[in-house]
Amino acid sequence: MKKLLLAATTALLVTGCVTPKSYVDPAFAKASFSDIQKVQNKHKINLVATLERNGEPLPRGDQEVRAAVTDALRSTGVVEFGDTSSDITIKVTVNNIANMRAC
């Protein structure tokens, strides 16, 4: 009887570890870049993109983040990247939160 109870308890606890959780509303999956209406006069922007790990700057990843954000923004057809005199600045920070104790 104890083995059966132990097996049932273990099975119950293990299923909690594999339960998928979605943090994004599933309705967002229906949107695409073609849904964005193109504008005649694109907005000139400056882009500041940084990568952090657990809130600490990780400069070696900044270029990769900048490239990904640049591609995504260009795909919208709404912005173009100007010089530093632009009045609009978009700042994107990607913070990779890692559990360093588990490593």
**pTM of the predicted model as reported, rounded to 2 decimal places:** 0.62
Amino acid at 43: H
User: In this structure, what are the phi and psi dihedrals at residue 12, rounded to the nearest 5 degrees?
Assistant: -65, -40
C-alpha to C-alpha distance for 79 and 38, rounded to whole angstroms? 10
C-alpha to C-alpha distance for 26 and 91, rounded to whole angstroms? 26
* pLDDT at 14 (0 to 100): 57
Tell me the average pLDDT across 47-72. Answer: 94
% of the chain with per-residue pLDDT over 90: 35
Q: What is the CA radius of gyration of the chain?
A: 22
* pLDDT at 75 (0 to 100): 87
- Provide the b/e sequence for 23-54 (b: ≥16 CB within 10 Å): eeeeeeeeeeeeeeeeeeeeeebebebbbbee
Domain chopping of the chain, boundaries: 36-103
